[in-house]
Structure 1
């Protein structure tokens, strides 16, 4: 956790923490997925998402305002690829329990939809956005590792921002929004990319992240831009 706090881009640490703390949560989430009608259909198809998600040409051909357009804009703006997250997880795969093929496929699907969760939920890639998104993810697919990272991340962020930002409200809101929304991992992801973003959020019952946006506004009023939230105050140059 200290390594992750020191560098939020050190994604490999996330896999170590989740494996250490999640216990039987992964198996429980898999069985809930596999017993749903949507899960059964997706398991029968067993699509592998990264190549399709990294082929931005076909996604760019979709109408503007779609989930797909928002996803590609997000990934290109942040300099991300779906394969990049695959590469990070593969560094850790040697320590993972000997899961069968269906478990591996489900684990890959959880991993490969992470950045789509950002787009649909409205949480950014700043430290607070990542911590809040993990709380949202816990609401969708419970696991002690995920919620531990989220909670500790928010506690760390509290040290560097005004109290008025109410950081723990973001933590609670993420959990609440994730639990209230339809399970994104059960969606036909390629079909979802074709939907208008606002319509998809409404259909999936994904609420606006009001507390998170409030925290960003409070920090901006104090001269902190999003990527500076969570940094040691000595590392931050406050805008005039």
Structure 2
């Protein structure tokens, strides 16, 4: 079972480094490693605060003792297809295969970034990995797509669940970049703020048994986690489409 190691020195917050990597991310939005650089540059004590909060949750010890390898479990699509048709697991498989994504692929992006990352080998790192590995599952649960705004809203939701200044910076800086590149009356900032509020109001996904939640009907899983509807996100899509703007191609990504 991973332990909490408080001997590691807390890194300083480095806004210049974060902004530099944000510009690189805007230039190539598919370079996910830049996201990890930004989060690390602005994290400060956030990782250890979030880990301590997790340790106080009812299922923390059980989850750490079981230590399920989430990427392996989430990428076993054949097994997930054996779940009921209306399950979260089935919806997750459809989403990942449609988008051409794998949980292992996100781990590989993190490993590419992690060449200069100081490993902690404790519950802080273990819980951080757990949040990383459930990112795409949050897309399915919240209804936020992989369009530019959907990604910013998921980050807002993630910040609401487990605060980290780096995540919040990307969410709002990305939203402002969208408004700059595709001016419209779409409620972009309100959508991100709504995502943040929805995440805070919901139960923290990473605190629960992911296998059990995957087996639930998707509506039941959303109700169990108290995940509300993304009203402003949907309004933003309507506003973009009314102006002839493809919300899936705001920052030059494939539709």
- In the other structure, the counterpart of 1:113 is 134
2:184–2:239 CA contact under 8 A, matched in 1 = no
2:59–2:207 CA contact under 8 A, matched in 1 = yes
Q: Confirm or deny that 1:135 pairs with 2:149.
A: no
TM-score in terms of structure 2 length:
0.88
Shifted more, 83-92 versus 98-107: the winner is 98-107
Offset of residue 101 of structure 1:
3.2
Q: Confirm or deny that 1:39 pairs with 2:71.
A: no
Unmatched 5+ residue regions in structure 1? none
Cα deviations across residues 190-235 of structure 1 (Å, max 9, x unaligned)?
A: 111100011111111101111001101111122222311244xxx9
Unmatched 5+ residue regions in structure 2? 1-21
Distance (whole Å) between structure 2 residues aligned to residue 101 and residue 184 of structure 1: 20
Runs of 4+ residues deviating >3 angstroms: 160-163
1:162–1:218 CA contact under 8 A, matched in 2 = no
Distance (whole Å) between structure 2 residues aligned to residue 188 and residue 86 of structure 1: 20
Distance (whole Å) between structure 2 residues aligned to residue 147 and residue 31 of structure 1: 20
Evaluate the alpha carbon distance shift between residue 236 and residue 201 of structure 1 in structure 2; reply closer, same or farther with a 3 A threshold.
closer
The count of aligned residue pairs is 234
> Secondary structure in 2 aligned to 1:185?
helix
Distance (whole Å) between structure 2 residues aligned to residue 25 and residue 158 of structure 1: 29
- In the other structure, the counterpart of 2:51 is 30
Q: Confirm or deny that 1:160 pairs with 2:193.
A: no
Over the residues paired in the alignment, what is the CA RMSD in angstroms? 1.7
1:173–1:211 CA contact under 8 A, matched in 2 = yes
Offset of residue 156 of structure 1:
0.5
Q: Find 1:125's aligned residue among 140, 146, 171.
A: 146
Cα deviations across residues 163-193 of structure 1 (Å, max 9, x unaligned)?
A: 3211111111011000000000011001111
Offset of residue 162 of structure 1:
4.5
> Secondary structure in 2 aligned to 1:9?
coil
TM-score in terms of structure 1 length:
0.93
Evaluate the alpha carbon distance shift between residue 73 and residue 21 of structure 1 in structure 2; reply closer, same or farther with a 3 A threshold.
same
> Secondary structure in 2 aligned to 1:165?
coil
